[in-house]
Amino acid sequence: MDSTATLKDIPSQYSSLVDDSKREMFYELGLNSLLKKEFALLILAGGLGTRLGAFGSKGIVKIGLKSDLSLFGLMAAKIKALQTHIIGSSPPDSCRSFSIPWVILTSSLSHESIINHFKTQKFFGLEKHQIIFIMQGQEVCSDFDGNPMKISPTEPSISPNGNGGVFGAMRDSDLFSTLEERGFPDVKYFQFIPVDNILVHPCYIEAVGMAIQNDIDFVNVCVQRSNPSESVGYCAMRKIEPDSELHSIKKALGIGPSKSTSTPCIVEYSHMSEADKTRANVRSFPWANICIHVISRRLLNTIFDYSRAHKPDGKDILYGGALLPYHSARKAIPYWDKKEKKIIKPSIPNGIKREMFLFDILNAVDISRFGVYEVKRDDAFAPLKSKEDIKPCLSSLSSYHHSVAQKCGIRLKVEEQFDPASFYDLKDLQYQRRRFDWRFVII
């Protein structure tokens, strides 16, 4: 990644697309798009819940929610609430039933636990046809000398190939055909979200509307950075050399002006030096990446078609290379000890995992088709990475519910929350109050 000294902030015309005068228009555009079944949710769930003390996907973990739901269960409840809100917001008798396609990215390590969880929970009351599972690829882990590691005398130690593996998984599984077979042929926008953000909404309706109104291929849903040392990446612009492979790919893709010499990017916090962190002050680079993105099918189709037709040096551009490069991460990796004849689980990094980042697909996006959509941190960002995060995440969820209730004149006791399936967001609760259609349930 480029040094911070060579980066620039996102131009204001692409980071200030939403103001109060446009929000209602964007919301109506987004809502209409959802009604026409042009939207799908994709949740990134290939990683494991090891740091949460669980074997299998993070999504199956219960962290003590008042609703007693797992993280997947919480998202299913939010999807139900969104579907109900859409039906209620549509013209009378125009929409009696409605379902949003939910695509779940798994990995070889998490797939079985996820499938079993959904079956056991009877798909959380959602329609089975609206839930689609796709599996990302994997990479062999290596030690610091580059030698492959093993998890048994004969098996290599493998790990998912990062959330950037979602694009190869979408293409290789022929996801668009599956959506068509399931009754969703008209999907134009996908919202990508992580499984471990307890506050995230399954759809930021205004962000979808903003993409439609401004002909945007990639909306980055962001919060304001709190400080330069915060463990989040940030949005920036970086230069593309005119004789580089990446410039050739962008020109061949035909996405935006071919003469563009820079591209939007996300600077990953784990790749920043201390000097870079010092230079990357909040004023110069204000937008924190929280792994919530609205991406157009147009962009995905263009990239998938190109990747099928062009394989430079025999390589697939969706698995490493200039477009989606591999990044090396030092990790504590379980391995087979020949002398002890058992699996050792180290507490400190002992090897390298190779992974791709979803946001590197911005390498294919022209700035004219990129936009930042800001959300409030307290409404949208409470990452759950380890056991230490459980208590503050639960507190953040409670605070969000109480904040929304207060704005609608509803009194909640300190220990009370809304049932997550009974209201979607502030607009939905305001709608319920305006129509005297009180669907919300307090638990």
- CA distances to 76, 112, 160, 353 from 116, rounded to whole Å, are 16, 6, 19, 27
Helix (H, G, I), strand (E, B) or coil at 1: coil
What pLDDT sits at residue 432?
84
What's the rounded Cα separation, in Å, for the pair 76 and 54?
20
* Structure-block tokens of residue 219: 């909306």
Helix (H, G, I), strand (E, B) or coil at 226: coil
Q: How many CB atoms lie within 10 A of CB 172?
A: 17
What pLDDT sits at residue 120?
96
* Structure-block tokens of residue 309: 């037709």
Domain layout of the chain by residue ranges: 4-435
Question: Between 3.90.550.10, 3.40.50.720, 3.20.190.10, 3.90.180.10, what CATH number should domain 4-435 receive?
Answer: 3.90.550.10
Torsion of CA 372, 378, 384, 386, to 10 degrees: 120
- CA distances to 145, 148, 192, 297, 317 from 304, rounded to whole Å, are 34, 30, 17, 10, 9
Q: How far is CA 400 from the centre of its chain?
A: 20
pLDDT by 10-residue block (mean), the chain, 443 residues: 67 77 91 95 91 85 92 97 88 76 96 95 97 96 95 94 97 98 97 97 96 96 90 89 80 64 86 74 89 97 93 87 91 92 92 96 91 94 94 96 92 92 89 76 87
Tell me which long-range contacts 59-67 makes (C-beta under 8 A, separation of at least 24): 59/104, 59/114, 59/117, 59/195, 60/113, 60/114, 60/117, 63/198, 63/384, 63/390, 63/393, 63/394, 64/390, 64/394, 65/394, 65/397, 66/417, 66/443, 67/417, 67/419, 67/420, 67/443
Q: Is the separation of the CB atoms in 212 and 33 below 8 Å?
A: yes
Tokens 């990644």 sit at which residue? Answer: 1
What pLDDT sits at residue 258?
47
- CA distances to 34, 143, 349, 438 from 330, rounded to whole Å, are 41, 9, 6, 51
Q: Is the separation of the CB atoms in 74 and 67 below 8 Å?
A: yes
User: Could you tell me which of 218, 263, 308 has the C-alpha nearest to residue 6?
Assistant: 263
What's the rounded Cα separation, in Å, for the pair 55 and 49?
6
* 30-82 confidence digits (pLDDT tens): 999 999 999 999 999 998 888 887 778 999 999 999 899 999 999 999 999 99
Q: How far is CA 375 from the centre of its chain?
A: 15
Tokens 């259609």 sit at which residue? Answer: 437
Query: Could you give the count of Cα atoms lying within 13 Å of 306 in the half-sphere of its Cβ?
Result: 20
User: Could you tell me which of 28, 137, 150, 40 has the C-alpha nearest to residue 90?
Assistant: 28
Helix (H, G, I), strand (E, B) or coil at 187: coil
What pLDDT sits at residue 298?
96
What's the rounded Cα separation, in Å, for the pair 2 and 226?
22
What pLDDT sits at residue 405?
93
